[in-house]
Structure 1
Amino acid sequence: MSLTSAIKANIQGDVWPGLPKRFQTFLFFRVKNRVDFKNRLKTFIPKITTGQDACEMSEIIKKARKEAQDAKRSAKLQGLPGINISFTSTGLEAGMYEDLVGEGWDNPQELRKEYKPNKEKERVIDGMIMVTASLKRDLDAKVSEVKQHFLAEEGTPPNADTYALSKDPSLEFNLTRSGNVLPGEIKGREHFGFLDGISQPILEGWEDKQLKEKEPKPVKPG
């Protein structure tokens, strides 16, 4: 499969090639008003960071590093915030609790309470919006923008600090998880093997990268 701009624009940026993220926040949500949610989701699509956007971010970073190297100074960190979205099976109007347990958790009791169905056996998480950035202020601004998009009263002017909450919001953000890169001497050490090409392998014909010794060979897309 040859890589085109159309294909890049049809892939979420953190699926491929990956988003720059020194900071990231996961906004787990439960849909409350399906009609309103679907309408707001349509206008949310342009805010989602695509593979094409991520490639352009990578070029911005490379350019900044090259300019800094030529000027013999440290490169200025680029904020480059991004947004991706994913859904659980209930978010796609299907039930998958048993599948989830069978895939990753043999004992349902091992699931943390925030990920379990409620007393009415309803899943409390329908999806998750991931927000990333290399600067904390850019992350916070983008998180506020996401919340306003789905929670603000219809017709409210864009203002992340003063918007009026909808009386019948499309969803509720019922769980938030945030993280950042490790500091100091352990900076760059992560528990997933992104750098060794295992967790996120190089795609044949899609990426121009010189492989290091013992790194896995590129794999075919799909």
Structure 2
Amino acid sequence: MHLFNIFTAAFSLLNIGRGVLGVPNPNSEHNLVERQARTTPILTVFPGQAALPTLADIINLNATNGTFLPIQNIQGDILVGMKKQLETFYFFHINDPASFKTALNSYVPTITSTATLLSPASSQPLAFVNIAFSSTGLQALGITDDLGDSQFSSGMYADATNLGDSLSTWESPFAGTNIHGVFLIGTDQLAPQDSYVSFYVSGIVSTFGSSITEVDRIDASARPGDEAGHEHFGFLDGISNPAVAGFSTTVLPGQTVVPSGTILTGRLGDVALRPSWTLDGTFMAFRKLQQKVPEFDAWTLENAIQNPEGTLTVQQGADYLGARMFGRWKSGAPTDITPLVDDPTLGADPQSNNNFDFAHANSSLISDQSRCPFSAHIRKTNPRADLADANTINHAIRAGTPYGPEVSSSEASSNTSTQDRGMAFVEYQSTIGNGFRFQQINWANTANFPPLKTVTPGIEPIVGQGSPRTADGLNPVDPSVGYTVPQFVIPTGGEYFFVPSISAITDVITAS
């Protein structure tokens, strides 16, 4: 208990994540928002997701195994996964580096740490704020160190065609290297939409003034009601993030445990040569992924498949096809465990919904797709037994949020998207080429992955990019039938960022 008191007192003295936004006006509407007391946590554990550890849990873990992750110094969004009700991405360009550094130095108390997000709700701020920089952003600030990641140095726009993107679909704010950084602002929905976020955005504007220019802003939020935690196609998301050694106090059945250096730069498992100041940072791959939901729904109906018993309606056959494309039913239940029918209880149970690896007694791992197609989204992006359950280096933490409105009745009836919606996709890793980029290029986009199968699996049908867009094994009655799958997820922009530790911001970024 004595150690816990010392640890929490240190967090209080550091005052990380609770600071003010410029000079408060006691008569302003924003100050009234600032004075509201929080009674529930910022982050939400959606059904099927792993619970977050507490500060006491992490202290006990580190006392037991001798490791120590300074979570008061690690920016908050990195380790917590997909647990935001509301999130805004505020992309900016630095106009005046000197003024920006001065403003950022004063703003550091508002940058939210992991420790703050795991604190009791009453000591959490109205919203969390994190900051990340592109390679050109660091250069604008006079930081020319080689951070040990070639993809970061070049930027995502230069990498887009390697990722399989068509630059014709990229939106102008992301074309080139004009984006120098991004503020991530996350909160819950205890107040009317945008009230907390608008308060924090206005604080950024007032603090940084003309030293920055807004390049783009994406407002994202969890879907309403029972769809909370589901992405726009309707599938429960954020289930299979890895457990991070030194942070995850509970490992769920089937969950992969990765060294902290798989996610955090400079930690055990990160073998790249980097400047010492990058310790406890991470590289963030951001993607704006547009989702063609009415078109997806129409295509699965048109191509509805039948179960071996021949008892499905057309809508049930469409849902069955969608489940096999993802490898999970919309509830989150994996088809590898329940191949023929959805099981919402299983989908909502984090103790069970990830407890599989595609291998089964009396079943051939190289030929049997009856439970889960080789091309399914969850199999392509987390191959488990297909790589002998030995893969850890290519894991990363996903932390994105859906953006855009629900499908309108006119869109549904016309089978045509007229509004922009999708996923503000975020993935954290210590090396972009091992995490996001490897998953996209070597796994999702590669037709003969997973390897050593009796058939060519084909492209991953959801996020896979490239041509031909053929996927094998989706129909369990006749697995030899190959499907040509339209592109339902379209990348419209993105960037690679470095998310520094909080001490790196004060000691290096604002001081250089």
With normalisation by structure 1, the TM-score equals 0.68
The answer to whether 1:203 aligns with 2:240 is no
The answer to whether 1:60 aligns with 2:121 is yes
The answer to whether 1:8 aligns with 2:8 is no
- Confirm or deny: 8 A CA contact 1:17 1:55 kept in the other structure: no
- Secondary structure at the counterpart of residue 39 of structure 1: helix
- Counterpart code for 1:204: A
- Secondary structure at the counterpart of residue 173 of structure 1: strand
The answer to whether 1:218 aligns with 2:295 is no
Alignment correspondent of 2:420: none
Q: 2 CA distance for matches of 1:28 and 1:171?
A: 10
Q: Return the index of the structure with the highest Cα Rg.
A: 2
Alignment correspondent of 1:149: 207
- Alignment gaps of 5+ in structure 2: 1-65, 145-152, 262-512
Equivalent of 2:112 in 49, 54, 57: 49
Give RMSD over aligned pairs.
2.7
Q: Can you list the C-alpha shifts for 1:167-212, whole angstroms capped at 9, x where unaligned?
A: xx10101211001101123222137842222xxx111242222514
- Secondary structure at the counterpart of residue 209 of structure 1: coil
Aligned residues: 175
- Secondary structure at the counterpart of residue 255 of structure 2: coil
Alignment correspondent of 1:66: none
**Within 5 A, what are the aligned runs for 1:85-100?**
85-93=131-139, 96-97=154-155, 99-100=158-159
The answer to whether 1:179 aligns with 2:220 is yes
With normalisation by structure 2, the TM-score equals 0.31
Q: 1 CA distance for matches of 2:93 and 2:118?
A: 31
Q: Can you list the C-alpha shifts for 1:129-151, whole angstroms capped at 9, x where unaligned?
A: 01111033222212221221111
- Secondary structure at the counterpart of residue 75 of structure 2: coil
Q: 2 CA distance for matches of 1:19 and 1:145?
A: 25
- Confirm or deny: 8 A CA contact 1:204 1:221 kept in the other structure: yes
Q: CA deviation at 1:11?
A: 0.9
Q: Can you list the C-alpha shifts for 1:91-112, whole angstroms capped at 9, x where unaligned?
A: 0116624643365355544432
Q: Indicate the structure whose relative CO is greater, using CA pairs within 8 Å and at least 6 residues apart.
A: 1
- Secondary structure at the counterpart of residue 260 of structure 2: coil
- Counterpart code for 2:260: P
- Confirm or deny: 8 A CA contact 1:20 1:133 kept in the other structure: no
- Confirm or deny: 8 A CA contact 2:79 2:114 kept in the other structure: yes
Alignment correspondent of 2:173: 114
Q: 1 CA distance for matches of 2:163 and 2:138?
A: 20
- Counterpart code for 2:128: G
Q: Can you list the C-alpha shifts for 1:59-106, whole angstroms capped at 9, x where unaligned?
A: 439xxxxxxxxxxxxxxxx97410001111110116624643365355
Alignment correspondent of 1:27: 90
Q: 2 CA distance for matches of 1:103 and 1:38?
A: 34
Alignment correspondent of 2:302: none
- Secondary structure at the counterpart of residue 138 of structure 2: coil
Q: 1 CA distance for matches of 2:245 and 2:236?
A: 21
Q: Cα gap change, 1:179/1:106 in structure 2, threshold over 3 Å: closer, same or farther?
A: closer
- Confirm or deny: 8 A CA contact 1:2 1:206 kept in the other structure: no
Over the matched positions of the two proteins, sequence identity in percent amounts to: 24
Q: 2 CA distance for matches of 1:15 and 1:177?
A: 19
- Counterpart code for 2:84: K
Q: 1 CA distance for matches of 2:100 and 2:136?
A: 14
Alignment correspondent of 1:104: 163
- Confirm or deny: 8 A CA contact 1:20 1:80 kept in the other structure: no
Alignment correspondent of 1:71: none
- Confirm or deny: 8 A CA contact 1:133 1:139 kept in the other structure: yes
- Counterpart code for 1:196: S
- Alignment gaps of 5+ in structure 1: 62-77, 118-122, 152-168
